[in-house]
Amino acid sequence: MDFSLREPERELVELCRGFAQNEIAPRAPAAWQEARCPTDLLREMGRLGLLGMLVPERWGGIGMSTVGFVAAMEQIGLADQSVAAAWQAHVTIGSLPLYLFGDDGQRERWLRPLAEGRALGAFGLTEPDAGSDARAIRTRAERHDGGWLINGHKTFISNAGTDMSFGVTLLARTGSSGDGPPRYGSFVVEKGAEGFTMGSKMRGIGWRGLDTRELYFDDVWVPDDHLLGDPEMGLSQFLRTLEVGRISIAALSLSLTQAVLDLATGYARQRVQFGQPIAKFQAVQWKLADMATELEAARWLTYRAAYLRDEGQPFQKEAAMAKLKASRLATWAASEAVQIHGGLGYMMDTPVARFYCDAKVLEIGEGTNEIQHMVIARALGC
C-alpha cells in the first residue's frame, strides 16, 4: 500500500497550498463575520480546475485521484472551513451523481459546467422528517404529461441558493410495487424551474459561509431527461455518493485538526505563565502530543479509504471509519486547542474559536457518527 503522492498530486497540493494561504486565509475573518458564501473565491478555484477535481477531463474536470483530493483538502481546509465545506460538497455529493449515474447528454448539460467551475452543485436528500432514515423521505415524483411532477420539501441543502448554483439533484419517491418497498429516483431540478422555491440562508454554529437552505417543490414538472438512470435506483445512487462524501468530511476533519494543532502549539510556545512558556508544562505538552498522534492515525485511515476507492476496491467500511475517527478527533482537538488558549480562545474573533465552531458539524453531516457506527457494525456482520 503506497499513499505517497505522484507528480500531478504533488503539483495540486502546491497549487492549493498557495491559493489557500494567499487568497483564502486572509479573507477568512471577514467571511466569518459576513456569513456569506464566497462565490468569487469558488469561481477562482473553478478557473484553477479545482471544482472538477473528481471528474474526468472528458467532462471538463481534472480527473484527480481521491488520494490527491484528500491531500488538496488538507491545504484548503487549513485556511477556511466554510470555503472548504462548500468546495467539498460541490466536488463530491454535488457533482458525482451526475457523473456516476447520468448519461452522456446529462453529463454534457449539467456536469460539464460544474466541473469547469462555472456553476455550483447541490445534493438534495434530507427532509424535515427524514435525515438519518433516508428511506422515510416524502418528496414524490409522479408520472405526468410525458415527464415527472415533483412535490416535496428538502431541508439543510447546501450550495443550492448561491448566485453560482445551477439547481439541485434530489431524491424523490417514484412509487412502490404494491405492498413492496418504496422506489426512489434521482432527478435534476434547475434553478428557475416553475414551482421550485427556497428559504433564506440558514444560520449554523459554524460553516458560516456555507449556503444551506430549505427547498420547496410545488408541482415542479420536469421532462424524462431530468431523471438520472433507473427510476428505482435513486436511493442506492444517493447512498453510494455519500460514501465518497464521507472520505471528504474525514479529510476536512484532518485539516481542521491540523489547523488547531498548529494554532495551539504556536500559542503554547509564546504564552508565558509562572515565568515560562506554557508549552513547558507537561499537561499542555501531552494534549499537543495526543493531538498529533491521533491526527496521524486519522490521516492513515482517511488516505486508506481514498486509496481503496482509487484502486476500485470496496471502501464503504473504511470511509465510515475514517469519517467517524477524524470527525471525533476534530471536535476533541478543537476543544483542547481552545483550552490551551484559555480565555482568549473563547473569544469569537480568534481563529481557534472559529475552528471550534466549525468542528461540530463534522460529526453530523453526510451521515451522523451514530450512522457511521451502524455502517461499520453491519460490515462486521452485526
Ligand X SMILES: Cc1cc2nc3c(=O)[nH]c(=O)nc-3n(C[C@H](O)[C@H](O)[C@H](O)COP(=O)(O)OP(=O)(O)OC[C@H]3O[C@@H](n4cnc5c(N)ncnc54)[C@H](O)[C@@H]3O)c2cc1C
State the minimum distance, in angstroms, from the CB of residue 143 to ligand X: 24
Contacts of 266-275 with CB under 8 Å at 24 or more apart are 267/340, 267/341, 267/344, 267/352, 268/340, 271/342
209 touches ligand X (CB under 6 A): no
Q: Which residue number, 15 or 239, has a Cβ lying nearer to ligand X?
A: 239
Residue closest to ligand X when measured from CB atoms: 131
State the minimum distance, in angstroms, from the CB of residue 363 to ligand X: 9
Retrieve residue 140's grid coordinates.
414524490
Q: Comparing C-alpha atoms, which of 155, 145, 149 is closest to residue 124?
A: 155
136 touches ligand X (CB under 6 A): no
Report the residue from 26, 144, 370, 377 that binds ligand X according to the rule CB under 6 A: 370
Q: Which residue number, 154 or 304, has a Cβ lying nearer to ligand X?
A: 154
Exposure string of 346-369, with b = 16+ CB inside 10 Å and e = fewer, is: eeeebbbbbbbbbbbbbbbbbbbb
In the chain, the amino acid numbered 168 is: V
Q: How far apart are CA 354 and CA 347, in angstroms?
A: 9
Whether the CB-CB separation of 210 and 191 falls below 8 Å is answered with no
Applying the rule CB under 6 A, the residues between 51 and 110 that interact with ligand X are 89
Report the residue from 19, 32, 207, 267 that binds ligand X according to the rule CB under 6 A: 207
239 touches ligand X (CB under 6 A): no
Report the residue from 165, 212, 237, 248 that binds ligand X according to the rule CB under 6 A: 212
Report the residue from 76, 157, 329, 357 that binds ligand X according to the rule CB under 6 A: 157
Report the residue from 32, 110, 123, 187 that binds ligand X according to the rule CB under 6 A: 123
139 touches ligand X (CB under 6 A): no
Applying the rule CB under 6 A, the residues between 284 and 343 that interact with ligand X are none
Report the residue from 24, 98, 125, 291 that binds ligand X according to the rule CB under 6 A: 125
Q: Which of 9, 74, 336, 366 is catalytic?
A: 366
166 touches ligand X (CB under 6 A): no
Applying the rule CB under 6 A, the residues between 8 and 37 that interact with ligand X are none
168 touches ligand X (CB under 6 A): no
234 touches ligand X (CB under 6 A): no
Number of residues binding to ligand X, judged by CB under 6 A: 22
Q: How far apart are CA 259 and CA 333, in angstroms?
A: 10
Stretch that binds ligand X, among 99-107, 178-186, 202-210, 218-226 (CB under 6 A): 202-210
245 touches ligand X (CB under 6 A): no
243 classed as catalytic: no
Retrieve residue 270's grid coordinates.
509564546
Task: Look at the block and give the residue holding cell 438512470.
Answer: 229
237 touches ligand X (CB under 6 A): no
Residues that bind ligand X (CB under 6 A): 89, 123-126, 131-132, 156-158, 204, 207, 210, 212, 361, 364-368, 370-371
Q: Which residues are catalytic?
A: 366
